[in-house]
Chain A
Amino acid sequence: GENVEQHPSTLSVQEGDSAVIKCTYSDSASNYFPWYKQELGKGPQLIIDIRSNVGEKKDQRIAVTLNKTAKHFSLHITETQPEDSAVYFCAASNLFGNEKLTFGTGTRLTIIP
């Protein structure tokens, strides 16, 4: 089955700086890679996703890059703000298979004012 690794587990960034979280996956059949933000006591919120037919996607301050050859994808947050503080999860799935999401272990991001 799919295995997703995520690094780092914790990340502290000065407000206004950029944050980068990286994930690797094992199953070459995976073709859909979403990123979720989870605040304390709440459910995960989809913030951006990417399919394997593109290498990069951007939405305002958030971007995701995908390297299919190396089987890794990254989340980039620029101009970080205190409200970006949360736990971020990457995930992978195969849209032509069972579409189950396999999650990474999460990154606790803290933005220092």
Chain B
Amino acid sequence: GAVVSQHPSRVICKSGTSVKIECRSLDFQATTMFWYRQFPKKSLMLMATSNEGSKATYEQGVEKDKFLINHASLTLSTLTVTSAHPEDSSFYICSARVGRGQGTQYFGPGTRLTVL
């Protein structure tokens, strides 16, 4: 299947700093990527849909100024957690869709964010 990478795999930061997470589709072009958040022993919660060359679409309750998403190319989307606080600590996972109407989403390995 298609490969999606994320970087970094884990990051620890101080409260008030910003953290950027990269999501790359390695062997295919992804016009659409998705960002999820997962709490321990819980399901995946969709945060936003990232479309190449346009603004991201955020789910209800997700602060767009807090979680900045940039989809600069067909293989790269970034999520920046701004002014991070301990409650932002979580497992962040991206996925990339192979093509519109195909349905299949391939997930990255996730990024564990810990805010002290």
Using a CB–CB distance below 8 Å, which chain A residues touch chain B?
32, 34, 36, 41-46, 49, 51, 89, 93, 95-96, 98-101, 103-106
Contact = CB atoms under 8 A, between A and B. Distances in A.
Interface string B84-116: 000000000101010011111111111010000
A69 to B, nearest CB: 21
Contact of A100 (B41, B49, B100): B49
Interface string B52-83: 00000000000000000000000000000000
**Chain A contact residues: over half helix, strand or loop, or mixed?**
loop
B103 A93 contact: yes
A43 B103 contact: no
Contacts of B4: 43
B107 A95 contact: no
Contacts of A104: 43
B11 interface: no
B2 to A, nearest CB: 9
What are the nearest 8 A-B pairs in CB distance? A32-B103, A43-B107, A43-B110, A43-B109, A44-B107, A103-B43, A95-B103, A103-B44
A43 B105 contact: no
Contact of A34 (B6, B105, B112): B105
A46 B110 contact: no
B109 A101 contact: no
12 contacts: A34-B105, A43-B107, A46-B107, A49-B103, A95-B101, A95-B102, A96-B101, A98-B49, A99-B32, A100-B46, A101-B46, A106-B41
Contacts of A46: 1, 104-107
A96 B100 CA distance: 9
A34 B104 contact: yes
